[in-house]
Amino acid sequence: MALEVIMPKAGVDMTEGQIVQWNKKVGEFVKEGEILLEIMTDKVSMELEAEEDGYLIAILKGDGETVPVTEVIGYLGEEGENIPTTVAASDASSTPTATTTSNDDNKSDDAYDIVVIGGGPAGYVAAIKAAQLGGKIALVEKSELGGTCLNRGCIPTKTYLHNAEIIESLAHAANRGIIIENPNFTVNMDKVLETKNKVVNTLVGGVAGLLRSYGVDVYKGIGTITKDKNVLVNGAELLETKKIILAGGSKVSKINVPGMESSLVMTSDDILDMKEVPESLVIIGGGVVGIELGQAFMTFGSKVTVVEMMNRIVPAMDAEVSKNLRLILDRKGMTILTETKLEEIVEENGKLRIKVAGKEDIIADKALLSIGRVPDLEGIGEVDFELDRGRIKVNEYMETSVSGIYAPGDINGTKMLAHAAFRMGEVAAENALKGNHVVAKLNLTPAAIYTLPEVAAVGLTEEQAREKYDIAIGEFNFAANGRAIASDAAQGFVKVIADKKYGEVLGVHIIGPAAAELINEASTIIEMEITVEEMLKTIHGHPTFSEVMYEAFADVLGMAIHAPKKK
């Protein structure tokens, strides 16, 4: 029986390869292990060997052709053997594919090309991108432009964490010869809030200005989709449109625990408007948001206790990084209870009694519910979408199950990060306006935690990589980096995970100074399929934190210069 020769998947992110040349002609005999052809990806050339003895009985794709991975490009078999007359069809995608029926024919000339529902990262970026491409665009936002990230999430949280960074630097000032006569400090929350609001308002105004500059019509109100696929604003004003981008974002997730309705239990929306620093704060959930806000309020002076059901905090991160972050936060005074189930919250005498399974009750002034977010489906209106556990199901083009409607960002639950939403918004806009099939590649989206020190990651964790690959790991500590030592920032490390055979970079994980900035170099390396050896041909400035990245890559090969020789 003829043996298929396929375009191999030679990398985690490889989707296609180009045939450079066939080294054999049809009818020639090939021995097992002999080179059949040469192929090339974006950056890597490789030779494809024959898997067994046989004759090259067919070449389906010729020199210079670009072919998707796993597609059949030729056949090996017995001399004179015919190739199969049929090829099995590939499995149908499990993601929704919108019908190709156009919705444009029923719309008037005055209709918008696209109406975007939601002005968060996915929505406002989609609106701007579509306008850049020449579309007549409207955007409907029920609250403030910028969405959760800008108004109640990433940006205000970073203002608090920068304050925490300033406070921590005061503690080290005397060691560096900077004598502060009165080392005591107080946190004026009125001023903290004023600064936070100023930052937020500046950026919200910036988004509004961008939308104006591109001629996007902005409507304030709740946008919902009608049966005929137009958009109704506040149940009154109808916006006729050819396509819709539903970017409703997400809202705080709730849990059904007795006492959760207490006014002393806050969400991430509430805590960023709190006008006092609580003496004690319990954080329910040890994910990214909870740990970041715990870091901020612990530094402001609160006694912080984190209650987490999983066996470690920030469980999506690499286990080694999670463990080291916990050790650092422990030393700073944060109490972390993992594998701990919340059972009840009781409000008594102006405080909270937090009851947890198998442990003593925790008494606190306030509690923060921080267990994640769920899609906000308010805008779906009269249209029935295919859902997956409360999330609008989309394909790689951001198409929903309903023709002409796209759903980028948190509302699809694929990757709940603002920068992922930016990309999804751009993809949705181009595909909706131009009818293209641009793919939103999200598997290499970097993630960061803005604790002190920062944490960041991209690609596979060590645990994930070991399931699929024979791996090599390189690590380098900031404690051996001149810039870090000079900056009192010598905690943490960079960890590089690579495929041992080909040197392909599978994941990079950082805990240390400027981790959220450094991780973008790693993202580029993995996206461009740069191998460990190729990365080591670059020169990194000195003294910089980025040298730790270089040394960690070198350590994959056991060649880190500023590390002792391995035995």
Alpha-carbon gap, residue 32 to 293, rounded angstroms: 60
CA–CA gap between residue 147 and residue 202 (Å, rounded): 14
CA angle at 501 for the pair 497 and 507, rounded to the nearest 5°: 15
Residues 65 and 16 in one domain: yes
What domain range includes position 427?
A: 106-250+375-434
Based on the domain organization, do 184 and 216 belong to the same domain?
Answer: yes
User: What is residue 91's predicted lDDT score, i.e. its pLDDT?
Assistant: 37
What is the per-residue pLDDT for 13?
62
CA distance 76 to 54: 6
| Across 443-448, average pLDDT | 96
Please report whether residue 320 resides in a domain: yes
Q: Rounded to an integer, what is the distance from CA 307 to the centroid of its chain?
A: 24
- pLDDT value for 103: 58
Cα separation of the two ends of the chain: 51
Report the share of the chain in percent with pLDDT over 70: 94
**Six-digit token pair at 241?**
């449109």
Kindly report the average pLDDT of the chain as a whole number. Answer: 93
Looking at the fold, whether 246 and 383 belong to one and the same domain comes out as: yes
Average pLDDT over residues 201-223: 97
Query: How high is the pLDDT of residue 184?
Result: 85
Q: Which among 552, 472, 533 has a CA at the least distance from the CA of 506?
A: 472
Q: How far is CA 64 from CA 8, 13, 21, 449, 545, in A?
A: 16, 21, 7, 44, 42
Mean pLDDT (whole number) for 109-116: 95
**CA distances, 502 to each of 10, 68, 469, 530, 550 (Å):** 9, 20, 11, 11, 18
Q: Would residue 567 count as lying in a domain?
A: no
Contact between 259 and 354 under an 8 Å Cβ cutoff? The reply is: no
Confidence of residue 204 (pLDDT cuts 50, 70, 90): very high
* Domain co-membership, 163 together with 235: yes
Number of helices and strands in the chain (H, E): 13, 33
pLDDT band at 21 (very low <50, low <70, confident <90, very high): confident
Q: What is the mean pLDDT of residues 152-171?
A: 96
pLDDT at res. 12: 56
- Residue 88 falls within a domain, yes or no? no
Are 66 and 110 in a shared domain?
A: no
Helix residue spans in 317-447 (DSSP H): 319-332, 418-434
> Helix 189-213 to helix 154-173 angle, to the nearest 10 degrees?
140
Averaged pLDDT for residues 348-368 = 97
Q: Which of 371, 387, 413 delimits the end of a domain?
A: 371
Question: What is d(CA 402, CA 99) in angstroms, rounded to the nearest whole number?
Answer: 7
* CATH number for the domain that contains residue 18: 2.40.50.100
Average pLDDT over residues 334-348: 97
Q: How far apart are CA 452 and CA 515, in angstroms?
A: 10
Could you tell me if 517 and 489 are in contact, meaning their C-beta atoms sit under 8 angstroms apart?
A: no
| Closest to 480 in 3D by CA, of 395, 548, 556, 398 | 548
How large is the average pLDDT for residues 215-235? Answer: 97
The average pLDDT across 7-16 equals 73
Clarify whether residues 293 and 355 are in a common domain.
yes
Query: Which phi and psi angles does 330 have, rounded to 5°?
Result: -55, -50
CATH of the domain at 322: 3.50.50.60
The catalytic residues are 542
pLDDT band at 94 (very low <50, low <70, confident <90, very high): very low
DSSP 546: H
Q: Phi and psi at residue 292, in whole multiples of 5°? A: -65, -50
Does residue 90 lie within any of the structural domains? no
User: Are residues 217 and 125 part of one domain?
Assistant: yes
Between helices 418-434 and 121-132, what is the axis angle to 10°? 40
- pLDDT at position 375 is 97
The count of structural domains within the chain is 4
Per the listing, tokens 């019509």 go with: 217
- Tell me: pLDDT of 486 over 70: yes
| Region of poorest pLDDT, from 7-11, 25-29, 461-465, 557-561 | 7-11
Q: What is the arithmetic mean of pLDDT over 92-117?
A: 69
| pLDDT the model gives residue 120 | 98
Q: How far apart are CA 375 and CA 244, in angstroms?
A: 17
Q: Evaluate if residue 104 carries a pLDDT over 70.
A: no
Place of tokens 């060691």: 175
Residue 88: pLDDT above 60?
Answer: no
* Span 275-318, pLDDT tens digits: 999 999 999 999 999 999 999 999 999 999 999 999 999 999 99
Of the candidates 34, 35, 3, 9, which has an alpha carbon nearest to the alpha carbon of residue 21? 35
CB atoms closer than 10 angstroms to residue 348: 8
pLDDT for 128 equals 98
Task: Please tell me whether residues 278 and 387 are part of one structural domain.
Answer: no
Burial of residue 83 (number of CB atoms within 10 Å: 0-12, 13-18, 19+)? middle
Beta bridge partners of 110: none
Quick one: 362 and 289 in the same domain?
yes
pLDDT of residue 85: 53
**Within a domain: 310:** yes
563 part of a folded domain:
no
Contact 229, 179 (CB under 8 A): no
| Residue from 527, 533, 518, 515 nearest 474 by CA | 533
Query: 303 and 338 share a domain?
Result: yes
Give the residue from 242, 261, 157 showing the smallest Cα distance to 200: 157
Containing H/E element for 283?
Answer: strand 280-284
Backbone φ, ψ for residue 256 (5° rounding): -90, 80
Residues 240 and 319 reside in one and the same domain: no
pTM (predicted TM-score): 0.81
70 pLDDT tier (thresholds 50, 70, 90)? confident
